[in-house]
Each structure stands twice: as structure tokens, then as C-alpha cells.
Structure 1
Amino acid sequence: MNHPDRPSTPHGDDARPVPPVAFADMDLPAEVLRTLTERGVREPFPIQAATLPSALAGRDVLGRGRTGSGKTLAFGLPLLVRTAGRRAEPKQPLALILVPTRELAQQVSEALAPYADALGLRTATVVGGMSIGRQTAALRDGAEVVVATPGRLHDLIGRKACRLERVRITVLDEADQMCDMGFLPQVTEVLDQVHHDGQRMLFSATLDRDVDQLVSRHLHDPVVHSVDPSAGAVATMDHHVLVVHGPDRYAVTTEIAARDGRVLLFLDTKHGVDQLTRHLRAHGVHAAALHSGKSQPQRTRTLAQFKNGQVTALVATKVAARGLHVDDLDLVVNVDPPTDPKDYLHRAGRTARAGESGSVVTLVLSGQRRELHRLTAEAGIETTTTKVRSGEAELSRITGAKAPSGVPLDGGPAEARPKNTNAPFRGLGSSKSAPRGSGGKPSRKANEARKLAEARKAARVRRGA
């Protein structure tokens, strides 16, 4: 199918332009080149060099690259350049970027804002957790470019506050996660509403069945580029499995969080995140919690504090596994091990970004080693396994762990340094798949429930006698 805004170039490797080595070699306006220079961006990352020429020419693009590979400018610059010079009518944007999470939407908007300003384009960010009235007003005033999450965009379309028939450039960023989060029907609905003859670009860290469905149905003869496909291929990333004794996990986690420099710690549940955060702050660690139970202003403020160093330990659920970019973040800790290879890769992608180095550490009990080994093998990850205990030099060598100050940040008496005789921290490693006999003591409620059950059983036996 030929399209008026796309060249009818044959598909295949021979048809792809040779990637240039500098932005100046591309067909970019002077305003964009000047803004790139002002921001110290001089050479394109591989995914940018590979996809920009095709995207600027109006081709549909399917780009595969791990998080942190530079995808935002790879799709953002062509979208802005090809939209420049046009003016949006109220409620009718001209270009759309669809992303899975609020954090990623805000980061994309912030990253593209200087270039949009240089080209005289108005943008609107449409996400849940923020005032829908303000977003409605921004669309009513006219925005050429909209960055949105599927749920909130769906709501605004339902309210007739947004119409998509004039959208001629559509980007799906982190398409695999949108599918994983159950947004496939909403994404398909959006793609059915945008201009049928428009340009579509799909970027994803992984390409699985649901993404293939989107590609086959909505992309027309796409140029395909795969660059730096997974965290397992990143030479500057080290992967460690730390085998801990159940009761010692409490102290090990605290000492890692107290290290010099920032650390991102992943847990399975919001409750576990909140409880660990309170514990760390009580021991003098500048920690903050990030999960879906927090309001969007809280999440935005916490991320800003983590980026500027006010918060040194960010404790999060997998809401932070995508869309979180922090410069010089060199350590990610899976306090609760991930449950599938894709989850591991997305968490790991928070470090060693843009050519920097970093480490990923996963804490496991001895009974969890085999399952984690299977998972990392599926992810293409080679790990180094080490048995550690709190206070040992080997733990400090791998993670930079050190004893916390013990001075509470939120008032209260000073806390003693946790010792390896403590019971395991409730919420750490408490995933439903954790094996029995993991070293934890039953809670008081569990003991009471057991005694009550035994008493009832004895009573039934007596009545039967």
C-alpha cells in the first residue's frame, strides 16, 4: 500500500539508509540541531542513528531496543519535525505518543519539551492521577502533540474532550508493557481512531505475541531495527545473586540501602514497600516509597528527590520497572526476586543506561536459587552467586553496603543496628511463591490462629467421644 506522506521504498535491508554518525548529517531543522547542541547531545545513540532517517522520511518504524537506549529522541524528533508548521484545532491533536505509565509519560514530555518549544509546538500530557479538568482545558486550547497513558486518553475520548481523526503520527512506546498491563484493547481502539493513512512507530524492549498482533494489524510495511535487545547483552552491567539466611535478610537489606550513593530496591507489594521504607528511615536511611497507591504528585515529588539526591534509597514495586530514568544509578536490588524473565530485564534496565556501568543484585534464600537460575537463563543473563551475611566485607565489596547511622529521620529514639539474630523483616521476600521453611518465624496472629484451630479440633474429638 502506498501512502501520500510516505515514500514507496522497497522493504528490506538494502532499502535502509546507512546510519549517519552525527545529527548534523540528518534532515533536521536548524532549530532542532541548535537545541541538541545546547543540551550537549552531539552524537546519536545506535537506535537513533538506525531509525531517524526512516522515521523522518515518513516510514512506519518498528524499533526494538532496551530501556535506556535512547528511544525517546528516536521517535520524538521525527514526530516533532514532521508536525511542525501545522496548527491543531481544539480537542484535535495532530500527533500522539502512547505510553504505559504516568512516570514515563512525564519523562517523555520533559525530554521533548525543549525541541517542541524550538519548533513552536504545543504539547499536553494526559495521565491518570492528575486533574482531568486541566487536561481537558489543555486539549480544548489546542495541542499539536499529546503524550498519554491509554486509560486517561480513553476517558477523555469518552467525554468527547479529545478526537483522534486528525492524528497523522502515532507512537507506541514500551508497547510490550502496555500489552502486559491489559491495555491491548484500548491501544487497538486508539489505533483504529487515528488517521488511517498516518505514520505509526512502535518501540519496545521485547516483541511478543500481543505486540506482533499490533504490528501486523496497524503498521504498514515497517522498517525494522533491533538494537541492544536486552539487559543480558549489556557488557557494563554485572548481575549478582546473593544467597542470604532468612533471618539475616532484614539486616542485609538495611546495610545495602545505607550505602553511599543511590539504590533502587524492588519489592512485590505496596505493603512491603511502605513497611521497609518506614524501617529504613527509622535507621537513618534517606528512603522513600514509590507504588501505585501513591498520588501522582507524591510520585512525581519522590522521583524528583531521588534524582537530586535528597532520597538515596528508592523502595518501589514494579511500577518503577519502566519509565524511570535516573542518571548515574549504579545499583538495582531485587529484595523480592522477579517472577518472570521480562520482569527481571525491565528492573535491570534502570541501571547501566546510556553506556554507563551498573550492578543488579537479587537476594534469594537457598531454596529459591534453582528457580532464579532458571529465570535468569531464560532472560539470557549470566549471574555470579555469592553467599553473604550482614556486616561481612564481601557484601560491602559487591554492593557498597555499610552500617546505617541508626538516627531516625522522622523522630523517635535512635535504632540499634539490625543484627543477624533478628527475625526476617515481614514483607521482604514474602512473595506467594516463596518456599516453606524459609527461615521466618510465625507471626503472633498465626500462632493464635493455630492454637484456636487446635482447640476446636480437640473439642470436636471430645464431642465425638
Structure 2
Amino acid sequence: MTTPTFTDLGVPAPLVQSLSQRGITEPFPIQAATLPDALAGRDVLGRGKTGSGKTLAFSIPLVTALTGRRSQPSRPSGLVLAPTRELATQITATLQPLAAANGLRITTIFGGVSQSRQVAALRAGVDIVVACPGRLEDLMGQKLISLQDVTTTVLDEADHMADLGFLPGVTRILAATPRGGQRLLFSATLDNGVDKLVQRFLNDPVLHSVNEAAEAPAQMTHHVFHVGGVQEKKDLVHRLASGTGRRILFMRTKHQARKLAKQLTDAGVPSVDLHGNLSQPARERNLAAFSSGEARVLVATDIAARGVHVDDVELVVHVDPPMEHKAYLHRSGRTARAGSDGDVVTVVLPEQRRDTQQLLRRAGITVRPSNVDANSAEVHALVGEVAPLRHVAPKAVQATKPAVRNQDHRGADPRRGGPSRSARGPRRRRPRQGTQRAANTGG
């Protein structure tokens, strides 16, 4: 059976040309499955694993549906809701060329930055708004945006919205859009209240499921490395970070993510951190440094488990094993994206072995653990070529001071409706000195 082209699926010629200019010529399975119904105006419920191409699956019908319309100031016609600032930014980057090809204007709304530029864009007139729920509700409460003209609404990563506790706000936002509009909802699972959103807001939706959420991607190879103690773990992590390709190292705490990124950079492995204590400009600088290759290593907390979509990440390392299996799958999904292969390593101390075994069983991962150190043959084989050491840190690395303590991913405190800590300025905090907890988390 031949793979259909975007033209075969009904995608308009200007968008096909825009995709082709970016080297996108063949639709991914979730795009092939959902595009005909979405382009026909049906409500669509799409289920697919991370990295499956969901952003284009809703971007193409969204732009197509709005072509020829002209939105009034502060009254957009299209709305995309995303759980994190990073995901919202990346959705906008995917949407922008398609919108430009059809003469549509787009802006992004999230907390952690001043709202003045966002309000100015709305007043100048935009057709599509990509937004995080917290800041969008703030602007709605200030009467600075109206959703009464929205004809197409997209909810991306609805299950992650639920995990972050955003569903009450999402429900209020969807209720503010017209009943007759088209709704496209994409989610890996339908638990934690997502099913209630579907029942209330989607009209006779067509369900398309591509790869169950609990399945590990076929191109992903999992490894479990048992180490004897804290120093062995530290040496192993530094070795895993030393390869030439992009890799993401996941930590449990913001403090440890910042500490490890600095240690690696000081050792000649350019690294940046990503966590909730960074201001929005610092997050963007660090992600840009990682995407461009200026920094080869991203050390992150779970804020990046679902919010960062960077291709060609060849290795994910669970330096600290996550607390639950869904987090393991979402962290691991940062590699083996868009058809590329990838490896996932979980580093396990003796006291973590039983919990990690149960975690992997719940995640549906079967892998034989290996007892290793930094010089083991299987570690060398996994790391491959070691990159030359660079002892001059990228500018982005030098800018990663702990600028904020965010209340949540929205960048606004929902109880006050005001700006987040990141918008109010930094808070000084005395660093902890060499605690046992720091030693046990791979520092």
C-alpha cells in the first residue's frame, strides 16, 4: 500500500508548497489518519505517542479553515492551547510558515514575561493565538481578549494539561468559545478528566489512534545501568554526557539540574539547564543553545519531559529515575523522534533497584540490567565518539542563574491573576552546602 501524499489527503496547494520548502513531503501516520476528517471540518480526537507529528496534524486544518477570514482586533478566529511555554513556542514555530503562506497572523501568549507586547499584538489583530491557560485566562479576565469569534480550537497534550492541574481553566476557556466551532483534541491518554472534556466539548468526534501511549517507540533502545555508589554514578553520568550528539539528562530537582549543568560545562562539556527556576528569556536562550548545538547537553527536570521537542536527540539519561511510569515514557520520548533511532539509559543506585524494576514493569519496558562503571565496554559502545572538550562556556550557559521560583508552568499565580515571580524579579536564595540529598542525585 502506497503512502498518500499531502495532496492526496486534501491539503491545499499553498500549504503543500510551504511544507515542501521545509523538506516535509510525506505525512506521518497520525497526519495521514486525521487530516481528511479535520480538513472536512469534523471534530477530531487524536491519540499518538510523543514525536508522532501531531503538531502538523492540527496546524494544517487550522490554517486551512481560517484562510480568507480576517479577525478583528483582540478577537482571534483560531486558538491553540498548550500546557507549557516551551511547547507553545514550538507550536508557533511550526504554524508560522503555514500561516504566512495563507496570509494569517499568529501570536503566542504565556506567562513569565510582560503582557504588554502580547496585548499590543492582539490589538493590532491576529488570526491565531497559541496560548498557555494561565496567561490566557488573565487576559480574558482583563477584557483584553475575546474568544467569541473562535471557529477552530485545538487542545494539544490534553493529558499533560490534566497532570498539571490545568483542566478547570481549560474548561472555562473552552466554554468561552462558540458552541458550533470545530474542536481538535490531541492526547496520549484519555484519563484524569480528559474524557470529560471530550464528552462536553467535542461534537461526534472521530477518534484516530496511532500507537498506544504505553508502547515504547520501536526505534528506542532501553538500558538499565546499575552502579555501586554515588561516585561511580557521577563518573558514569559524565561519561554518558561526553558524546558528540545531543543528549538530555533528567534530574529530579531544579538545584541538581543547575548543579550538574555547571559541573559538565566546567569539565569541558558545554551544557545548559532547563527548570522552573529560570526566567522565560533564560529558558529560550538555553533551548536555542541546545537546538543549535552550541550546547550538546540539556540537563532538565520534568518540565522538559513533555514540553521540549528537539529532533536528533540521540540519548536520554534518567540520572534520577522518575517517580512514576508515565514520566518515564514521556522523558524517554525526547529521543527516537521523527523516525530516528535513540537510546534511553536509567542510572540506578543499589537502594533504587527495586523501585526502578517496578517502574519499568508498569511502563511495559523489559530490559536486563547491567552492572557497569564509566569504563565498561557497553558504556563506551553507547557513547561512541567522545567530543573534544571545550572549556569556554556558551553564553547561554553563563546566563542560567536561578532567576525565579515559578508557581507553575503558566507563569501566573491563578489565585491572584497577577504576574508570576518571573515577572516580578529574582529572589535571592542561599545555596545549600553539600547535603546528603545533593550527593544522592548524581551531582
Per the normalisation by structure 2, the TM-score is: 0.87
Task: For residue 135 of structure 1, report the CA deviation from its aligned partner.
Answer: 0.3
**Is the CA contact 1:330–1:358 (under 8 Å) kept in the aligned structure 2?**
yes
Which residue of 1 is the match for residue 240 of structure 2? 256
Q: Are 1:40 and 2:23 matched, yes or no?
A: yes
1:428 to 1:169, Cα distance in 2 relative to 1, 3 A? farther
**Is the CA contact 1:290–1:317 (under 8 Å) kept in the aligned structure 2?**
yes
- Range moving further from structure 2, 400-409 or 368-377: 400-409
Which residue of 2 is the match for residue 10 of structure 1? none
> Which of 427, 434, 448 lines up with 2:438 in the alignment?
427
- Range moving further from structure 2, 94-103 or 370-379: 370-379
Task: For residue 372 of structure 1, report the CA deviation from its aligned partner.
Answer: 1.4
- Range moving further from structure 2, 367-376 or 173-182: 367-376
Q: Distance in 1 between matches of 2:156 and 2:392?
A: 41
Q: Are 1:153 and 2:136 matched, yes or no?
A: yes
| AA at the equivalent of 1:323 | G
Map of 1:273-352 to 2, 5 A cutoff? 273-352=257-336
**Is the CA contact 1:88–1:144 (under 8 Å) kept in the aligned structure 2?**
yes
Q: Distance in 2 between matches of 1:140 and 1:313?
A: 40
Which residue of 2 is the match for residue 437 of structure 1? none
Which residue of 2 is the match for residue 357 of structure 1? 341
1:102 to 1:19, Cα distance in 2 relative to 1, 3 A? farther
1:154 to 1:391, Cα distance in 2 relative to 1, 3 A? same
Q: Secondary structure at the match of 1:360?
A: strand
Q: Secondary structure at the match of 1:214?
A: helix
Which residue of 2 is the match for residue 221 of structure 1? 204
Q: Superposition RMSD on alpha carbons, in Å?
A: 2.2
Q: Secondary structure at the match of 1:207?
A: coil
Which residue of 2 is the match for residue 390 of structure 1? 374
Q: Are 1:194 and 2:177 matched, yes or no?
A: yes
1:403 to 1:329, Cα distance in 2 relative to 1, 3 A? closer
1:396 to 1:357, Cα distance in 2 relative to 1, 3 A? same
Task: For residue 26 of structure 1, report the CA deviation from its aligned partner.
Answer: 2.4
**Is the CA contact 2:109–2:131 (under 8 Å) kept in the aligned structure 1?**
yes
Task: For residue 370 of structure 1, report the CA deviation from its aligned partner.
Answer: 2.0
Task: For residue 401 of structure 1, report the CA deviation from its aligned partner.
Answer: 8.3
Q: Are 1:183 and 2:166 matched, yes or no?
A: yes
Q: Distance in 2 between matches of 1:405 and 1:182?
A: 42
Task: For residue 27 of structure 1, report the CA deviation from its aligned partner.
Answer: 2.1
| AA at the equivalent of 2:275 | H
Task: For residue 405 of structure 1, report the CA deviation from its aligned partner.
Answer: 4.6
Task: For residue 283 of structure 1, report the CA deviation from its aligned partner.
Answer: 1.1
Per the normalisation by structure 1, the TM-score is: 0.83
The gaps in structure 2 that reach 5 residues or longer are 395-433
Task: For residue 399 of structure 1, report the CA deviation from its aligned partner.
Answer: 3.5
Q: Distance in 2 between matches of 1:177 and 1:135?
A: 24
Task: For residue 251 of structure 1, report the CA deviation from its aligned partner.
Answer: 1.1
Q: Distance in 1 between matches of 2:2 and 2:73?
A: 38
Q: Secondary structure at the match of 1:320?
A: helix
Which residue of 2 is the match for residue 137 of structure 1? 120
**Is the CA contact 1:20–1:26 (under 8 Å) kept in the aligned structure 2?**
no
Q: Distance in 1 between matches of 2:103 and 2:2?
A: 28
Q: Secondary structure at the match of 1:131?
A: coil
Which residue of 2 is the match for residue 419 of structure 1? none
| AA at the equivalent of 1:265 | L
Task: For residue 230 of structure 1, report the CA deviation from its aligned partner.
Answer: 3.2
Q: Secondary structure at the match of 1:23?
A: coil
| AA at the equivalent of 2:154 | V
Instruction: Give the greater-gyration-radius structure (CA).
Output: 1
1:66 to 1:148, Cα distance in 2 relative to 1, 3 A? same
- Give per-residue Cα distances to partners, 1:243-276, cap 9 Å, x unaligned: 1122311111111112222210000111011111
> Which of 214, 218, 240 lines up with 1:235 in the alignment?
218
1:429 to 1:190, Cα distance in 2 relative to 1, 3 A? farther
Task: For residue 402 of structure 1, report the CA deviation from its aligned partner.
Answer: 5.6
Q: Secondary structure at the match of 1:427?
A: helix
Q: Distance in 2 between matches of 1:401 and 1:382?
A: 28
Q: Distance in 1 between matches of 2:389 and 2:290?
A: 19
> Which of 332, 335, 350 lines up with 1:366 in the alignment?
350
1:20 to 1:197, Cα distance in 2 relative to 1, 3 A? farther
Q: Distance in 1 between matches of 2:134 and 2:109?
A: 9
- Range moving further from structure 2, 222-231 or 265-274: 222-231
Q: Distance in 2 between matches of 1:305 and 1:424?
A: 31
Task: For residue 393 of structure 1, report the CA deviation from its aligned partner.
Answer: 2.4
- Give per-residue Cα distances to partners, 1:287-344, cap 9 Å, x unaligned: 1111111111111111111111110111011111113122211100010101111101
Task: For residue 240 of structure 1, report the CA deviation from its aligned partner.
Answer: 0.8
- Range moving further from structure 2, 243-252 or 178-187: 243-252
Q: Secondary structure at the match of 1:179?
A: helix
> Which of 238, 254, 269 lines up with 2:253 in the alignment?
269
Report the identity percentage. Answer: 51
Map of 1:73-92 to 2, 5 A cutoff? 73-92=56-75
Q: Secondary structure at the match of 2:438?
A: coil
Which residue of 1 is the match for residue 406 of structure 2? none
Which residue of 2 is the match for residue 53 of structure 1? 36
Q: Secondary structure at the match of 1:58?
A: coil
**Is the CA contact 1:242–1:386 (under 8 Å) kept in the aligned structure 2?**
yes
Which residue of 2 is the match for residue 378 of structure 1? 362
1:19 to 1:245, Cα distance in 2 relative to 1, 3 A? same
**Is the CA contact 1:256–1:400 (under 8 Å) kept in the aligned structure 2?**
no
The gaps in structure 1 that reach 5 residues or longer are 1-17, 411-422, 432-439, 441-465
